[in-house]
Chains A and B, each alone.
Chain A
């Protein structure tokens, strides 16, 4: 029996009060922990959004965006100027092209569908058009109308992307997604060989595997790897070294899209301006940073809401335990006087009360951790959904080019896709906060304890 065990026992002297206190305190700690988790999840997300899209500048020929619009290709000489700019870490370049049935034996893995039919009939662009006889006639819905339409069957073309950064799918005419190598290897960015990475669906359609060959631009190209981008558009393309495509397609020195990586997010907007003035009217220069900033803004609001709630909940907990300790000290005035009269020091008495407070808050911490763990994800989701839904409709409203849409659409969906993970650190923080507020609460109470005179015991109530 010592002060600590007495303190622990005293915590259960009034079971009703202890239960009520532990529940209330547990609730406030649980809220604090949930807010802490939300805050962490949101900061992690902000950091990853910033680092993934925040520091690049997209450059494309003026008036061109992928295969939409027109324009004149950029040159390597122009892009060398960009690479020379301060803050530009690297420039990845690509040249997009379409293979026609004349220069490849590859068949697209994507069916035309309603959209493809409509585009081909309205634009009349130089898509690969096959004469469709009755035998090979289309079996799609547009011909079911029975109208004597000219049988023009459109097959989506196979895109080829010559690039210096083969694993980056967010530029040019690529469909975005995350590059995952399924088989084989990735060629070097500065390769000049006749090699290619083939999207998984395109490979399947054409029975290609690592080591197989196919024909492009009338030249035999060897498949060195198969990749999966997680989306059908990206998986229907051929990725080849930039130099190879430039050479085979007779466009040496031409670039249809480039991405400059800036050393830090802070320098993106100044670098965008610098790139614009370096390239003049030849190029359209955009960056995702500004739009990412806007996507992040609601997250930052959530972060501060979570932080204030966290502080508020911890403060509420500290006040609750402090008030309770004051109440208990008042209640046990005489008892404190007695044990002082029979030889206990102030420190000894205060230690006993501290043990009592720590017992109460530790119990509350257990409940708080259970509540916090259970509530962390729903609370984070609720906060994020509520405050990003309005922002999403705003920022997604305007028509964006595909490159921007691809990258930025990814940002938007990933902003709302937050999972709060509860780790051991949260449990440690929970107990840490519990012990901290116990020490603060009983520390202040001990000032009152010190004031109680042992002479009080002589008073008969």
Chain B
């Protein structure tokens, strides 16, 4: 269960204050697949960075498993991000000079998983998202966008997170590949009982999710 209560994030630039997230409250039960839609600049990415503890809110709280994430100490937040959250980004954000396999092993290293288990788990995950053994040993530059996004999903799953946050994961992909990636996420949510919150512009995708939140100027629009 993830519960967001009156969440606000302001950005000050000079005299003006941008209310990127302006008093949002909602909750998503475990294992649900939620989508966030909204116009450009409506605050979708900002909301996601707050949920992933990449940034601190101006006010409000985010309660995950009864723990208020916004009140955690910095060093605890590192562990929270690494173990409880998996990120999938629009532009994949893989580390360019590491192979697909090494990219997937990275969060396991940060979460202090025993060295011996990392490689086996990474290979297993990559196989699950459909990467061949040959592709697993390639660096991101030698993989297609769709393949890179699969690696990113495998990386997001590495530490068996409670919550996967995806910011327009299909935004850089053609509609067919996008649909495949989306189905992959959807299946995972069901089989692993992982909560997924994804930002998307694609209404055909949002229609298939358990719940859809629509943002406008940093606030939720009742649907």
Q: Which residues of A contact B95 (CB under 8 A)?
A: 335, 338-339
> Are A341 and B105 within 8 A (Cβ)?
no
**Given that A2-B109, A455-B55 are known contacts, is A342 also in contact with B79, CB under 8 Å in the complex?**
no
From residue A436, how far is it (CB to closest CB) to chain B in Å? 27
Residue of B52, B83, B91, B93 with most chain A CB atoms under a 10 A cut-off:
B93
**Least CB distance, B95 to chain A, in whole angstroms:** 6
Q: In the assembled complex, which residues on chain A have CB atoms less than 8 Å from the CB atom of B48?
A: 458
Chain B nearest CB, measured from A116 CB (Å):
83
CB-defined contacts of A6 to chain B, threshold 8 Å: 98
Q: Is A112 interfacial (CB 8 A cutoff)?
A: no
- The answer to whether the Cβ of A291 comes within 8 Å of any Cβ in the partner chain is no
The answer to whether A455 touches B54 (Cβ under 8 A) is: yes
Per-residue contact bits, chain B 44-86, to A (CB 8 Å; 1 contact, 0 not): 0110110010110000000000000000000100110111000
Is A458's CB under 8 angstroms from B49's CB? yes
- Across the interface, which residues of A come within 8 angstroms of B107, CB to CB? 342-343
B96 interfacial by beta-carbon distance below 8 Å: yes
B102-A1 in contact (CB<8A): yes
Provide the residues of chain B in CB contact with A455, threshold 8 Å: 49, 54-55
Separation of A339 and B95 alpha carbons in the complex (Å): 8
A460 near B82 with CB under 8 A, answer: no
The complex places the Cα of A370 from the Cα of B176 at a distance, in Å, of 59
Known: A342-B81, A345-B78. A457 touches B97 (CB 8 A): no
* In the complex, chain B residues whose CB is within 8 Å of the CB of A345: 75, 78, 110
Contact of B89 among A10, A13, A457 (CB under 8 A): A457
- In the bound complex, residues from chain B placing their C-beta under 8 Å from that of A335 are 95-96
Taking a contact as CB atoms under 8 Å apart, the answer to whether B52 and A341 are in contact is: yes
Closest residue to A6 on the B side, CB-wise?
B98
User: Do A342 and B54 have beta carbons less than 8 Å apart?
Assistant: no
Q: Which of B128-172 contact A (CB under 8 A)?
A: 155, 159, 167
Interface residues on B, range: 20 to 34
Would you call A414 an interface residue if the criterion is a C-beta within 8 Å of the partner chain's C-beta atoms? no
Q: Are B111 and A343 in contact (CB under 8 A)?
A: yes
Chain B residues positioned under 8 Å from A253 (CB to CB): none
B97-A458 in contact (CB<8A): no
- State which of A1, A334, A453 has its C-beta within 8 Å of the C-beta of B54: A453
- Report chain A residues within 8 Å CB of B83: 343
Task: Report the nearest A residue to B45, measured CB to CB.
Answer: A458
- Complex CA gap A344/B75 in Å reads 10
Contacts of B2 in A (CB 8 A): none
Q: Is the CB of A343 within 8 A of B55?
A: no
Least distance between A453 CB and chain B CB atoms (Å): 7
Residue B106 interfacial (CB < 8 Å) = yes
A455-B49, A458-B48, A458-B89 known; A343 vs B78 contact (CB < 8 Å)? yes
CB pair B110–A344 under 8 Å, yes or no, is yes
Report A426-461 residues with CB < 8 Å from chain B CB.
Answer: 453-455, 457-461
Report if A9 contacts B (CB, 8 A). Answer: yes
Contact B49 A343 (CB under 8 A): no
Contact B155 A342 (CB under 8 A): yes
Q: B55's contact among A1, A453, A460, by CB below 8 Å, is which?
A: A453
Asked if B102 and A343 make an inter-chain contact with CB atoms under 8 angstroms apart, the answer reads no
Closest A residue to B55 by CB, please name it: A455
Bound complex: CA A342 to CA B81 (Å): 6
Contacts known (A335-B96, A339-B95); A458 close to B54, Cβ less than 8 A: yes
Interface contact B96-A454, CB-CB below 8 Å: no
Give the CA-CA distance A341 to B167 in the complex, in Å: 14
Q: Does A348 contact B (CB under 8 A)?
A: yes
Q: Let me know if B97 and A13 touch, CB within 8 A.
A: yes
B106 partner, pick from A342, A457, A458, beta carbons under 8 A? A342
Chain A hits for B33, CB < 8 A: none
A396-447 residues at the B interface, CB under 8 angstroms: none
Question: Which residues of A have CB within 8 Å of B102?
Answer: 1
Find chain B residues with CB under 8 A from A461 CB: 91
Contact of A343 among B81, B91, B97 (CB under 8 A): B81
9 additional A-B pairs beyond A334-B93, A458-B167, beta carbons within 8 Å, are A1-B105, A338-B94, A338-B95, A341-B93, A343-B81, A345-B75, A457-B54, A458-B48, A460-B90
Contacts A/B (CB < 8 Å), 27 sampled: A1-B105, A6-B98, A338-B94, A338-B95, A339-B106, A339-B110, A340-B78, A341-B52, A341-B93, A342-B81, A342-B106, A342-B110, A342-B155, A343-B78, A343-B83, A343-B107, A343-B110, A345-B75, A453-B54, A453-B55, A454-B81, A455-B54, A455-B55, A457-B54, A457-B89, A458-B54, A458-B89
A residues near B (Cβ < 8 Å) are: 1-2, 6, 9-10, 13, 334-335, 338-345, 348, 453-455, 457-461
B interface residues with partner A (beta carbon < 8 Å): 45-46, 48-49, 52, 54-55, 75, 78-79, 81-83, 87, 89-91, 93-98, 102, 105-107, 109-111, 155, 159, 167
Q: Which 8 A-B pairs have the closest CB atoms?
A: A343-B82, A343-B110, A455-B55, A455-B54, A454-B54, A342-B107, A455-B49, A338-B93
